[in-house]
A = this chain, B = another copy of it.
Amino acid sequence: MPTMDDDIALAHRLAAAAGEAIRPYFRAAFVQETKADSSAVTEADRAAEQAMRDILERERPEDGIVGEEFGSVREGASRQWVLDPIDGTQSFIAGRPIFGTLIGLMQQGWPLLGAIDQPIACERWIGATGRATLFNGAPAKTRRCKSIEGATVATTSPHCFSDDEADAYLRLLAAAYGKHPWPLYGGDCYNYALLASGHVDIVVETGLKLHDFAALVAVVEGAGGQMCDWRGDPLSATSDGRVIALGEPARLDDVLEVLHGH
Contact = CB atoms under 8 A, between A and B. Distances in A.
Interface of A: 27, 30-35, 37, 90-91, 93-98, 121, 141, 143-146, 150-152, 154, 156-159, 180-187, 190-191, 194, 197-201
Residue in A151, A159, A182 with the greatest tally of chain B CB atoms within 10 Å: A159
A90 B182 contact: yes
A199 B98 contact: no
The secondary structure that dominates the A interface is loop
As for how many copies of this chain the complex holds, the number is 2
30 contacts: A30-B143, A31-B198, A32-B143, A33-B146, A34-B146, A34-B150, A35-B150, A37-B152, A90-B152, A90-B182, A90-B183, A90-B184, A91-B184, A93-B152, A94-B152, A94-B184, A94-B194, A95-B194, A95-B199, A96-B98, A96-B184, A96-B187, A96-B194, A97-B97, A97-B98, A98-B98, A121-B121, A159-B181, A159-B182, A185-B186
Residue in A32, A96, A181, A182 with the greatest tally of chain B CB atoms within 10 Å: A96
A26 to B, nearest CB: 10
Contacts of A143: 30, 32-34
A197 B34 contact: no
Contacts of A186: 184-187
